[in-house]
Chains A and B, each alone.
Chain A
Amino acid sequence: MSREERVIAYVDGELGASDAAAFERDLASDAALAAEVDQQRRLRERILSAYGAIAEEPTPDRLVLSACAANQNRRFGWRHWAAIAASLAVGVTVGFVVPHQRGALAAHDGVLVARAGLAQALETQLASDTGPIRVGLSFKDADGDYCRTFQSTPDRLAGLACRENGRWIAHATLAWSPAPAPQYRTAGSELPPAVLTAVDELIAGDPLDAAAERAARDARWRR
């Protein structure tokens, strides 16, 4: 190991215990070596503090969404289902919605959490309830958490959220606006295919029927 390699390995904590002890003995008797160690330490600190700030910057929503995108399956990735959504229906806008911190979804600890009216609808509404926010299918995922699909007219958003640790966490979101003639559509067909794909990916067993949905709601979605 060259002198320089030894210095940086020491500064980086890469020397084994006995090598480090030997190095420290050399340090005590070699002022030039000690100065090199100091210099390397200062550089290390400078670099760390310069780049520390970058990791503190807020993460752009599009990156959070790309990690949360509903489908990781290559043969049926989100581009694919976005294309299907585009070819199918009125009312489905292709692409992910960029959520705003003040909107229906907020990024917290790296996940998108439903808030405000959307959180309340997911918590309290039944599929049979009407209103600006509609909840569609309810089901359990493999972990036993409850998940529900939603369509929000005010937020122009459709998606799927699961209740984890008391929060409704969005697993798929899609820009969405109500079809012009909703009376011609059945409850199932209203859901954008993208959301149905996300349901397929997460569902364990069958969707809850109306009685089970009500019971789960009344039990506040506890597992």
Chain B
Amino acid sequence: MPEIRSQIVALLPRLRRLARVLTRDTVDADDLVQLTVERALSRTDLYRPGTRLDSWMFRIMKNAWIDESRARGRRGVVLAAEEDGLQVGSDGAGAMEARLAAREVEAAMSTLPEDQRIAVALVLVEGLSYREAAEVLEVPEGTLTSRLVRGRQALISRLGEAAR
């Protein structure tokens, strides 16, 4: 397999995660990942070897999402992703507690405006530097920082001091 394909395959879990942040929906997220992969593969000649492939794919995903949500006219519509009910089950209380905590965070994230949501995800979840995240979003670094500040303040007030 040409090397870039195996690198893309290795990135799929992180692409899915970012897509979840963007779309707030598990099915839409996987559709967005597929669209991103197809777009990336159709323009691998634009990828500069030696630069971060994850950042490059994140940018493609961001633009694909903008196109997609414009086409569907649902930007700014808040969807609650409640489809998978909590299962109290075989994996026990610890796992359920972790799922609850994760869901609480996801719910808080989903209330953020899209630009803050993706800024927080790129820096706090994906570990990009401010410069790298600003490049993905194609905004000045100062814009990124203020989105990070506002997004995090909103998260802290929503999640409250109960932060474990």
A: residues with CB less than 8 A from B are: 2, 4-5, 8-9, 12, 14, 39-40, 42-44, 46-51, 53-57, 59-60, 62-64, 66-69, 72, 74, 77, 109-111, 162, 169, 171
Contact = CB atoms under 8 A, between A and B. Distances in A.
Given A47-B125, A59-B16, A74-B42, A5 B6 contact: no
A50 B105 contact: yes
A75 to B, nearest CB: 10
Interface string B1-21: 110011011101110110011
A110 B10 contact: yes
Contact of B16 (A40, A55, A66, A171): A55
Contacts of A162: 1
B83 interface: no
A111 B13 contact: no
A44 B127 CA distance: 11
B33 A8 contact: no
A62 B37 CA distance: 11
21 contacts: A9-B130, A9-B145, A12-B124, A43-B152, A44-B124, A48-B124, A50-B101, A50-B102, A50-B103, A51-B17, A51-B125, A59-B16, A62-B34, A63-B30, A67-B9, A67-B12, A67-B37, A109-B10, A110-B9, A110-B10, A162-B1
B163 interface: yes
A108 B24 CA distance: 28
Given A9-B145, A72-B42, A4 B13 contact: no
Interface residues of B, number: 50
Q: Which label, helix, strand, loop or mixed, suits the secondary structure of the A interface?
A: helix
A47 B14 CA distance: 14
B44 interface: yes
Contacts of A46: 101, 105, 159, 163-164
Nearest to A110: B9
Given A43-B159, A51-B17, A2 B10 contact: no
A63 B124 contact: no
A40 B152 CA distance: 8
B120 A39 contact: no
A59 B12 contact: yes
B156 interface: yes
Contacts of B37: 63, 66-67
Contacts of A39: 156, 161, 163
B69 interface: no
A72 B44 contact: yes
A66 B153 CA distance: 38
Interface string B22-47: 00000000100110011001101000
